[in-house]
Amino acid sequence: MHGSKRNDLQALEARQQATFFGELVTGIFASRDPVWPMFYALVDRASAGSLRTLCLPGRRGTRYGFSTQGDPALSEGCVYVLPGEDFVQIPGTCEWGNTARHAVQPLQRVSVQPNDFPFLSLTGRHDPSESLLATWIRQRVK
């Protein structure tokens, strides 16, 4: 699944971006976890500024963290269901990447609203100068 503010995507194009571990690659990123992409579908990146998200699978369930530098201004967005055969899981994370650099056509689009997001009241704020670890400790990642 891949979250977007746009509701008219016919194909997702590879672009340069950072992986969960900060490595710059050209690709498309998605997750099998339905919550994580929902945040990206809902957040207004222009008003939110820097984004910090965390989605780590574990024996006791998935751990989440969501933080923005500014006002996230959550509003309607879309989660796109993508074909899984083009993606490879990034070990230890909920992130799946496609670095084949070719467009991927969604199988389905699901509209989401801020009230659909289960961590709405737990989305925190951070100063971009603080460490990622400090952000997650202060927020007590759920």
Model confidence over 104-117: pLDDT tens digits?
A: 999 999 999 999 99
Q: What is the pLDDT at residue 142? A: 59
One-letter amino acid for residue 117 of the chain: F
Three-state SS at 134: helix
Look at residue 63 and tell me whether its pLDDT is greater than 70. yes
* Average confidence score pLDDT of the chain: 89
Q: What is the pLDDT at residue 37? A: 96
Q: Taking the alpha carbons of 30, 14, 111, 51 in that order, is the dihedral positive or negative?
A: positive
Model confidence over 27-60: pLDDT tens digits?
A: 898 999 999 999 999 999 999 999 998 888 888 8
Q: What is the pLDDT at residue 3? A: 97
Q: What is the pLDDT at residue 92? A: 82
Q: Is the pTM above the cut of 0.75? A: yes
CB-based contact 105:80 (threshold 8 Å): no
CB-based contact 52:20 (threshold 8 Å): no
Cα 61 from Cα 78, distance rounded (Å): 25
Look at residue 141 and tell me whether its pLDDT is greater than 70. no
Look at residue 100 and tell me whether its pLDDT is greater than 90. no
Q: What is the pLDDT at residue 69? A: 94
CB-based contact 55:64 (threshold 8 Å): yes
Report CA 27 to chain centroid distance, whole Å.
Answer: 14
Non-local CB neighbours of 103 within 8 Å, separated by 6+ positions: 11, 12, 13, 14
Alpha helices in the chain (DSSP H): 35-42, 45-48, 132-139
